[in-house]
């Protein structure tokens, strides 16, 4: 019973404790449909823990998570992905011996089997290859379709992570530091890709690179010590002296 007016993603009183550490402290977050929502905050603020709670890698100590109005708090990670909540695939989980074309074709085949289509086109594999090639072309991977993933430059492998997530046709996409570790010369293609993500996909971005965050986000939540410290539009966040204090010496907010 998904409600068309409910937010894409919502947390209510979300708490995660690790022993004595409160990594997530009563987080009430609302991510609107189609948003470009950034989660920022200093190291140790609880950003990755929050993504792990949202995707089902971790179980919350208390609170709930709603995807398009439906409670998913107790759904295992793969069932959340099946409902369209996806995060970028981690690089070391990509198959190094496969090419990008083979990797994306596999993801599409997986998506189709999940969808329980009762019919198959005569040549499903050719159709998948065409879809995979078109997606890879859009993600600046057209020139390396047939190269082994293991030999690709780091920036290209990070683009492939995003391609894997997009091939699953996400409704909500969580990106945890997509340009971390990418050399400056290779980050341009990732920025272009993020700017060109489908408008109907809701995107939650965690990123340290403030230039990227401020160029991309339409809404921001600042986490500090596991809690939402401030939330608002990028302009207001940039002017907020409390946010500046939190980041002093860390980033140029």
Ligand X SMILES: Nc1ncnc2c1ncn2[C@@H]1O[C@H](COP(=O)(O)OP(=O)(O)O)[C@@H](O)[C@H]1O
| Contacts with ligand X, residue ranges (CB under 6 A) | 18, 21, 23, 41, 43-49
For Mg ion, which residue has the nearest CB? Answer: 48
Q: Binders of Mg ion among 45-74, rule CB under 5 A?
A: 47-48
List Cβ neighbours of 12 (8 Å cut-off, separation of 6 or more): 28, 63, 64, 65, 66
Give residues with Cβ within 8 angstroms of 231, minimum separation 6: 219, 220, 221, 222
Q: Which of Mg ion, ligand X, none does 236 bind, CB closer than 5 to 8 A by kind?
A: none
Q: Is residue 12 near Mg ion by the rule CB under 5 A? A: no
Q: How far is CA 238 from the centre of its chain?
A: 23
Q: How far is the CB of 2 from ligand X (least distance, A)?
A: 29
Q: Does 25 bind Mg ion (CB under 5 A)?
A: no
Span interacting with Mg ion, options 14-22, 42-50, 58-66, 88-96, rule CB under 5 A: 42-50
Could you tell me the smallest distance in angstroms from the CB atom of residue 235 to ligand X? 23
Give dist(CA 107, CA 8) in Å, integer: 24
CB 118 within 8 A of CB 64: no
Considering CB distances under 5 to 8 angstroms, the limit depending on partner class, which of ligand X, Mg ion, none binds residue 87?
Answer: none
Place of tokens 């109907």: 200
Residue ranges binding Mg ion (CB under 5 A): 47-48
């Amino acid at each position: 019973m998904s409600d068309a007016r409910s937010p894409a993603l919502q947390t209510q009183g979300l708490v995660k404790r690790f022993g004595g550490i409160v990594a997530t402290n009563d987080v009430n977050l609302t991510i609107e449909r189609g948003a470009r929502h950034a989660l920022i905050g200093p190291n140790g603020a609880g950003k990755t823990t929050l993504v792990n709670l949202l995707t089902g890698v971790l179980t919350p100590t208390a609170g709930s998570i709603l995807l398009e109005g439906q409670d998913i708090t107790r759904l295992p990670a793969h069932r959340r992905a099946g409902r369209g909540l996806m995060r970028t695939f981690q690089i070391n989980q990509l198959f190094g011996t496969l090419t990008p074309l083979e990797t994306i074709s596999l993801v599409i085949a997986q998506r189709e089997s999940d969808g329980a289509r009762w019919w198959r086109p005569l040549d499903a594999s050719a159709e998948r290859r065409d879809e995979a090639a078109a997606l890879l072309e859009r993600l600046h991977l057209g020139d390396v379709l047939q190269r082994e993933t293991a030999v690709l430059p780091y920036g290209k492998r990070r683009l492939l992570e995003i391609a894997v997530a997009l091939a699953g046709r996400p409704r909500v996409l969580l990106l945890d530091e997509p340009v971390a570790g990418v050399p400056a010369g290779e980050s341009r293609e990732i920025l272009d890709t993020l700017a060109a993500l489908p408008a109907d996909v809701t995107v939650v971005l965690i990123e340290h690179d403030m230039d990227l965050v401020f160029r991309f986000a339409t809404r921001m939540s600042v986490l500090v010590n596991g809690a939402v410290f401030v939330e608002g539009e990028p302009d207001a966040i940039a002017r907020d002296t409390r946010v500046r204090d939190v980041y002093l010496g860390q980033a140029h907010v």
